[in-house]
Structure 1
Amino acid sequence: MTTAAAPVRRLTVLYDAGCPLCVHIRHWLLGQRWLVPLALVPAASWEANRRFPRLDHASTLREITVIGDSGQVWTGTDAFIVCLWALAEHRPKANWLATPAGRPFARAAMHTASAWREAVRTEGHPEGAEGPACDDQCAVPR
């Protein structure tokens, strides 16, 4: 997980609006109690490009990306952990998943989600998106 010098007061989660799993997780996140406010923005959308002009937006369609209000960027497993960290009921689990003992479980969760996402993803792009919706390499952990 990226260590930030500045405290995180707000997070933006870029999600693939053309992916049923990503949209489901977006709705789930909206229903949780947040310790850190979340903005959920379609990846590679006009809004994402406006907010983060220097970001590689094509990559945000392949891998979950979370941006902190001080410019921190987390992707893949780290982004998954940061999302959980922002939630009241899941922060203790996120803290554990960030440890050497917990990281293999976080990676396994990301690998499972990636496999499911690949199986059910829809073709096409969110409005205003550029690049492939998914190139069959979506968020597979390294």
Structure 2
Amino acid sequence: MTGLTVLYDAGCALCTHLRHWLDRQPQLVPLDLVPAGSEEARRRFPALDHGATLEEITVVGDGGQVYRTEDAWIVCLWALAEHRPRAHWLASPAGRPLARMTVLAAARWRAASAGAGCHDGRCGTPLPPH
């Protein structure tokens, strides 16, 4: 695998924060960070359900592999120099429950933030770096 495209919700403060965090990390496999549902995402991946990509993180490998939910988080960590060992552990039977709980916690935070009208990026998520 020589590259991954991460489709993230650009309207979500948490997702945008994590996008900036991923971008700052040393990468073993290059990550191309593209807003989910964007014209660029639709052009690159016409067969994807783009509505679903706005609901859950989706990562597409350069060979057409599609990763969603905890598999997407794990493959993002696998692409990072400092986090590959953690990704291997999260992919194991011992680590997979933690990966799943992390994804569910993020989904609950997003749902609570959306319900509270937190669309201005000030919902308790650290601001992206300047």
SS at structure 2 position matched to 1:12:
strand
1:1-20 to structure 2, matched below 5 A, reads 8-20=1-13
Instruction: Select which of 24, 41, 64 maps to 2:57.
Output: 64
Cα drift, residue 120 of structure 1: 2.0
For 2:90, the aligned partner's letter is L
67, 73, 82: which is aligned to 1:74?
67
Query: With structure 1 as the length reference, what TM-score do the two structures score?
Result: 0.79
| Alignment correspondent of 1:126 | none
Q: How many residues align?
A: 116
**Which SS does the other structure have where 1:61 is aligned?**
helix
Consecutive unaligned residues of structure 2, counting only runs of 5 or more, are: 120-130
**Structure 2 length-normalised TM:** 0.86
* Equivalent AA in structure 2 for residue 17 of structure 1: A
* The structure with more helix, counted as a fraction of residues: 2
The one-letter code sitting in structure 2 at the alignment partner of 1:24 is H
Once residues 53 and 86 of structure 1 are traced to their aligned partners in structure 2, the CA distance between those partners, rounded to angstroms, is 24
Counterpart CA distance in 2 for 1:91 and 1:46 is 31
Q: Which has the higher contact order (CA 8 A, sep 6+)?
A: 1
For residues 6-64 of structure 1, the C-alpha deviation after alignment (integer angstroms, 9 at most, x for no partner) is: xx110000000110000000000011000000000000100000000111111100111
Which of 58-67 and 112-121 deviates more?
112-121
Q: Between the two proteins, what is the percent identity of the paired residues?
A: 65
Unmatched 5+ residue regions in structure 1? 1-7, 124-142
